[in-house]
Amino acid sequence: MADFRGVTLKQLRALVATTRSGTMSAAAQALNVTPPAVTSQIKLLEESLGLPLLDRTEDGFRPTDAGRHVLGAAARIEDALNDCAEALEGVAGLNAGRVAVGVVSTAKYFAPKVLGSFGKAHPMIDIRLVVGNRREILEALSDFAIDVAVMGRPPKGIDVEREVIGDHPHIVIASPEHRLADRRGLSFADLAGETFLVREVGSGTRILMERRLAEAGIAPRVGMEIGSNETIKQAVIAGLGIAFISGHTVGAELADGRLAALDVETLPAVRQWFVVHRRDKRLLPAAEALREFFVSDGASFLPELPETAHR
């Protein structure tokens, strides 16, 4: 049976550093110790637990199944220690503390403004912003790497608390020269032969698009799969296809006429923006204050769509 009584933070950190870097020497440099010291700490850890924790591969050291379980425990221990440090810093109120925020890439059009306003009110709070696609933000949430996340669809595989920030409209965009740009009262059936430029599989926007088209009995003809809204916008402007996209990402281009919102019945499709955090993670004062600010004031920072997107 694994015996954790002799396990130390030095041993766990040696395992984490070796797994991250792939080599004992790089781990030693990261920990500011010698390579033999790292080797010794991992050997002691394996002896305590009675199982091998690392495999040597051509690409460096990789965790075994047992090693992955220990790494998960190490992450939770480090998270608990960070929570303790922040709690001690925050006992005087909101004059100190740190908060890590994960934001899906579509929300980067408003979330930084929320953080900027919050930061002005609480200048002593250290805010770390992580922007990524949905998969990356969910991984950060799973790994306790962030305190709160801003996204359009709360996860199903992680037990979270969620609060609505505000409405999140989705529209179909095209080049202003597109043959359908000036048509009114379009149905999804009218889009059946069009080339769609889409986000990566797993993207919340793509999932919503596929659901709406499936409800209309349409299988989209995918022209390109593109990992960023900015690139999708440029491709649509260039006439390479149309796109189902968050209205909050295209306000400037619609306003100055570089893009057109197609007048499709039942659109905009309105979902919500959410701020979420793990139910099993206790939010410390700084993180709780930021979460409350997103709920109370976040909607005022959401971009407004031009009237052409609502016609």
The answer to whether position 1 is within a domain reads no
Does residue 85 have a pLDDT over 90?
A: no
First to last CA, the chain: 67
Amino acid at the residue 185: G
Find the domain containing 53 and state its range. 9-74
Q: Which amino acid is at 72?
A: G
- Joined together, the tokens standing for residue 240 give 């390479």
The reply to whether 120 and 139 lie within a common domain is: yes
Q: Please report which confidence band the pLDDT of residue 141 belongs to, taking 50, 70 and 90 as the band edges.
A: very high
Burial 12-45 (b: 16+ CB within 10 A, else e): bbbbbbbbebeebebbbebbebeeebbeebbebb
Strands 148-151 and 269-278: antiparallel
Average pLDDT over residues 112-135: 92
Mean pLDDT of 243-250: 92
Model confidence band, residue 310 (pLDDT cutoffs 50, 70, 90)? very low
Instruction: Count up the domains in the chain and report the number.
Output: 3
Spatial separation of the C-alpha atoms in residues 162 and 264, rounded to whole Å: 31
Average of per-residue pLDDT across 46-60: 90
Mean pLDDT for all residues in the chain = 89
Q: Say what the pLDDT of residue 165 is.
A: 96
The pLDDT, as a whole number, for residue 1 is 60
Q: Quick one: tokens of 88?
A: 């001690």
Query: Do 153 and 175 have their domain in common?
Result: no
- Are residues 261 and 175 located together in one domain of the fold? yes
What is the C-alpha separation between 46 and 18, in angstroms, rounded? 14
In a domain, 2, yes or no: no
- Least Cα distance to 237 among 221, 255, 220, 260 occurs for 260
Looking at the fold, whether 263 and 280 belong to one and the same domain comes out as no
Task: Specify whether the CB–CB gap between 257 and 174 falls below 8 A.
Answer: no
Phi, psi torsion values for 186, nearest 5 degrees: -70, 150
What's at 192, amino acid-wise? A
Q: State if pTM tops 0.75.
A: no
Q: Are residues 162 and 280 in the same domain?
A: yes
Tell me: do 260 and 297 sit in the same domain.
no
Give a yes or no: residue 44 inside a domain.
Answer: yes
Average pLDDT over residues 29-39: 92
